[in-house]
């Protein structure tokens, strides 16, 4: 490209504006996800630097981001990539070369990188003190920055960002102020005397919250802490009042995602002085449950907990730690020393996926089980993720893998809020003290009864993600036989248990499953053996066709050998519609969850 620049019109300026996003919490980043973000930023910028360093450039402008200056939750890879650009500009200026790195704030006009943001995301950023500027304002800032960069005394790093000082001031007492802005925004004087950061107060958190709790009865302590949790949750979600967040409503139901969960955790860290895990809101799934946990941590003499504890590692979607497998000994509750868990992890690391799965299947036989729904005295808690007035609503079944839970549907359900009800019925056996089903019939009967209790007399659609589609289809068949058929069945990238593609899928998905446990901390021995138990039960299962319409939603990005035949698709029933959505088996319900929800909404509107 450079060789094609004519001599009569020499190159005088370079603008590097490439970028990519792959947001995730730090623990879930992989080398591949890091490279995907660094490559277009750092690699491309270095190439431009080296190829043009001998040219008499008047401008060498790098489009960086304020994420590298202030930090941003869930953007460790993106922040690092932009910090590299800032450093490259410093390096070039030290060599006497033209350079300017512009660490941009938020533009109001959506781009390829911000097109995924909805109005709630923009409003949340606004509440954090970052206001958007128009394209006209942004271009004017660009012109000004390039003009300033041409002077010898100009700083090679400029930060064109619009700050809302009032918003920063409003949040200063709840989450503090970024160090770079402490000269601009200070904590209000009435809080400053006793409102030191968590790091300054230490693990006890006794100033000022702990001292306030010390003079209260236990019930009053819980009330204060519950109100505290509700206030911070409402603030992060943009509600005017904590009344919008009820004590016993699941965080997932009110719209909490992994990133907003971390934001709330950070606020609670600051106000309590505790060091709380990133999985906090997934381990303790309602404000009341979280308040009870905080009360225990704030008691005098309470021992500090590590960032990822055995309790967090085993937390189920209903807020219970996963059940230990029988025969696991002292390590059975989960953790790196757990025999079955460590053997399975080693098998996956060695590529022995079939052997690892067989181990889990065998271990699951030793766990207590139920033969009828009546024997299951403590079924998993029903989780409602969305409310809407349009019928039918959705009743969803999570996958049958170790990281399964209602959170699988959190981002998907966001597309239905205000439109249709979305309810999740977790499978039994993944939570503490829960029994595994002794047969397919046992879990299908139990989930069929749970479905009817959840929907009452209203029409409903059954939805299953991945192997959860087996449950959805089997429940649909049973309810159809009993005269209570669903309006439709939706299967989200579901394959037949005996599909030739399944071994390929399991091989590819094991690593991805462990990648995601770093974010949620839920893969322990109890959950692994629950997965093994379900895979054993369904190993010889085949669907009996149902007469209701079926939507089979497939991920566009498939694994080698994962293609399904027409015969496999028709095995579910005679009325199957197949549609493709962006992403792979995981990201279709994560980064592309909005597109997946839209595909389901559109199909329901036309066919049900």
Q: Give the whole-angstrom CA distance, residue 330 versus residue 232.
A: 38
pLDDT: is 251 or 544 the higher one? Answer: 544
pLDDT: is 22 or 607 the higher one? Answer: 607
Which has the closest alpha carbon to 356: 517, 195, 513, 237? 513
**Which residues contact residue 353 at a Cβ distance below 8 angstroms, ignoring those fewer than 6 apart?**
347, 503, 506, 507, 510
Per-residue pLDDT tens for 416-473? 988 999 999 999 998 878 899 999 999 999 999 999 999 999 999 999 999 999 999 9
Confidence category of residue 291, pLDDT binned at 50, 70, 90: very high
Q: Give the whole-angstrom CA distance, residue 90 versus residue 75.
A: 23
Residue 27's pLDDT is 66
First vs last Cα of the chain: how many Å apart?
A: 54
Provide the pairing of β-strand 130-131 with 162-163: antiparallel
Residue 203 in tokens: 């693990």
Residue 383's pLDDT is 85
Q: Give the whole-angstrom CA distance, residue 430 versus residue 432.
A: 7
Q: Give the whole-angstrom CA distance, residue 359 versus residue 536.
A: 11
pLDDT: is 555 or 237 the higher one? Answer: 555
Q: Give the whole-angstrom CA distance, residue 510 versus residue 315.
A: 20
Question: CA–CA distance from 419 to each of 4, 275, 349, 559, 597 (Å)?
Answer: 55, 38, 44, 33, 11
Q: Give the whole-angstrom CA distance, residue 348 versus residue 156.
A: 48
Per-residue pLDDT tens for 37-54? 999 999 999 999 999 988
Confidence category of residue 521, pLDDT binned at 50, 70, 90: low
pLDDT surpasses 50 at 515: yes
Would you call the peptide bond into 208 cis, given omega within 30 degrees of 0 as the criterion? yes
| Summary mean pLDDT of the chain | 81
Q: Give the whole-angstrom CA distance, residue 64 versus residue 40.
A: 12
Cβ neighbours of 63 (radius 10 Å): 18
Which has the closest alpha carbon to 157: 87, 105, 101? 101
Three-class SS string for 163-198? ECHHHHHHHHHHHCCCHHHCCCCCCCHHHHCCCCCH
What average pLDDT does this structure show over 519-546? 86
CB-based burial label for 289 (10 Å; 0-12, 13-18, 19+) = buried
Residue 575 in tokens: 């009325």
Residue 22's pLDDT is 79
Would you call the peptide bond into 392 cis, given omega within 30 degrees of 0 as the criterion? yes
pLDDT surpasses 50 at 489: yes
Structural domains in the chain plus CATH codes: 2-164 (3.40.50.720), 194-307 (1.10.1200.10), 372-498+539-607 (3.40.50.1820)
Cβ–Cβ < 8 Å for 242, 227: yes
Cα–Cα–Cα angle for 493, 438, 341, nearest 5°?
A: 70
pLDDT: is 180 or 375 the higher one? Answer: 375
Cβ neighbours of 332 (radius 10 Å): 22
pLDDT surpasses 60 at 203: no
What average pLDDT does this structure show over 22-33? 75
Three-class SS string for 460-503? EEEEEECCHHHHHHHHHHHHHHCCCCCCEEEEECCCCCCCCCHH
pLDDT surpasses 70 at 11: yes
Give the relative orientation of helices 339-349 and 502-520 as an angle to the nearest 10 degrees.
120
Q: Give the whole-angstrom CA distance, residue 557 versus residue 555.
A: 5
Report the chain's C-alpha Rg in angstroms. Answer: 27
**Which residues contact residue 276 at a Cβ distance below 8 angstroms, ignoring those fewer than 6 apart?**
265, 268, 269, 297
Confidence category of residue 602, pLDDT binned at 50, 70, 90: very high
Residue 98 in tokens: 């033209």
Which has the closest alpha carbon to 586: 509, 527, 500, 473? 509
Which has the closest alpha carbon to 598: 574, 586, 584, 582? 582
Provide the pairing of β-strand 576-581 with 550-555: parallel
Confidence category of residue 122, pLDDT binned at 50, 70, 90: low
Q: Give the whole-angstrom CA distance, residue 76 versus residue 518.
A: 15
pLDDT surpasses 70 at 523: yes
> What DSSP letter does each residue of 14-76 carry, written as one string?
EEE-------B-GGG--HHHHHHHHIIIIIHHHHHHHHHTTS--SEEEEEEETHHHH--TTBH
Out of 80-84, 112-116, 429-433, 495-499, pick the least confident. 112-116
Cβ–Cβ < 8 Å for 465, 408: yes
Out of 143-147, 264-268, 513-517, pick the least confident. 513-517
**Which residues contact residue 415 at a Cβ distance below 8 angstroms, ignoring those fewer than 6 apart?**
593, 594, 596, 597, 598, 601
Q: Give the whole-angstrom CA distance, residue 549 versus residue 551.
A: 7
For residue 283, give the H/E element and its range: helix 280-283
């Amino acid at each position: 490209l450079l060789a094609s620049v004519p001599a009569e019109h020499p190159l005088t300026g370079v603008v590097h504006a490439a970028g990519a996003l792959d947001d995730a919490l730090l623990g879930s980043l992989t080398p591949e996800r890091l490279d995907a973000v660094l490559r277009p930023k750092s690699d491309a910028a270095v190439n431009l630097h080296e190829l043009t360093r001998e040219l008499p450039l008047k401008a060498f402008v790098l489009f960086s981001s304020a994420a590298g200056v202030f930090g941003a939750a869930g953007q460790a890879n993106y922040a690092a990539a932009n910090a590299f650009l800032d450093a490259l500009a410093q390096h070039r200026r030290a060599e006497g070369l033209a350079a300017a790195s512009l660490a941009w704030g938020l533009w109001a006009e959506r781009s390829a990188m911000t097109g995924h943001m909805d109005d709630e995301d923009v409003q949340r950023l606004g509440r954090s003190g970052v206001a958007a500027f128009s394209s006209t304002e942004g271009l004017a800032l660009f012109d000004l920055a390039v003009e300033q960069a041409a002077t010898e005394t100009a700083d090679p790093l400029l930060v064109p960002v619009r700050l809302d000082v009032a918003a920063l001031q409003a949040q200063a007492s709840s989450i503090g102020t970024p160090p770079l802005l402490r000269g601009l925004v200070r904590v209000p004087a009435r809080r400053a005397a006793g409102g030191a950061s968590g790091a300054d107060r230490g693990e006890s958190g006794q100033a000022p919250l702990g001292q306030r709790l010390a003079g209260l009865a236990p019930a009053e302590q819980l009330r204060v802490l519950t109100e505290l949790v509700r206030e911070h949750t409402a603030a992060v979600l943009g509600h005017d009042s904590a009344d919008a967040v009820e004590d016993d409503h699941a965080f997932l139901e009110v719209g909490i995602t992994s990133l907003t969960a971390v934001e709330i955790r950070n606020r609670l860290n600051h106000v309590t002085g505790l060091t709380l895990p990133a999985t906090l809101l997934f381990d303790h799934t309602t404000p009341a449950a979280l308040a009870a946990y905080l009360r225990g941590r704030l008691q005098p003499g309470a021992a500090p907990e590590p960032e990822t504890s055995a309790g967090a590692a085993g937390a189920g979607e209903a807020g219970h730690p996963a059940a230990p497998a029988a025969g696991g000994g002292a390590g059975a509750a989960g953790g790196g020393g757990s025999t079955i868990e460590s053997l399975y992890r080693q098998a996956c690391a060695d590529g022995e996926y079939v052997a690892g799965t067989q181990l889990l299947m065998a271990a699951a036989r030793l766990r207590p089980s139920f033969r009828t729904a009546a024997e299951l005295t403590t079924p998993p808690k029903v989780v409602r993720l969305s409310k809407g007035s349009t019928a039918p609503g959705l009743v969803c079944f999570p996958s049958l893998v170790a990281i399964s839970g209602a959170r699988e549907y959190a981002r998907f359900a966001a597309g239905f809020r205000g439109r249709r009800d979305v309810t999740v019925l977790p499978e039994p056996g993944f939570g503490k003290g829960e029994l595994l089903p002794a047969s397919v019939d046992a879990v299908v009967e139990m989930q069929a009864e749970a479905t009817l209790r959840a929907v009452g007399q209203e029409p409903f659609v059954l939805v299953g993600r991945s192997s959860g589609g087996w449950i959805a289809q089997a429940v649909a068949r049973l309810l159809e036989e009993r005269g209570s058929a669903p309006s439709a069945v939706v299967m989200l990238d579901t394959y037949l248990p005996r599909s030739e593609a399944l071994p390929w899928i399991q091989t590819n998905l094991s690593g991805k499953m462990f990648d995601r446990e770093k974010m949620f901390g839920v893969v322990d021995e109890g959950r692994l053996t629950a997965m093994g138990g379900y895979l054993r039960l369904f190993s010889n299962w085949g669907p009996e066709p149902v007469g209701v319409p079926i939507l089979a939603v497939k991920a566009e990005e498939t694994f080698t050998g994962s293609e399904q035949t027409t015969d496999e698709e028709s095995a579910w029933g005679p009325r199957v519609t197949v549609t493709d959505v962006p992403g792979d088996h995981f990201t279709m319900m994560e980064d592309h969850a909005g597109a997946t929800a839209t595909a389901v909404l559109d199909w329901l509107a036309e066919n049900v």
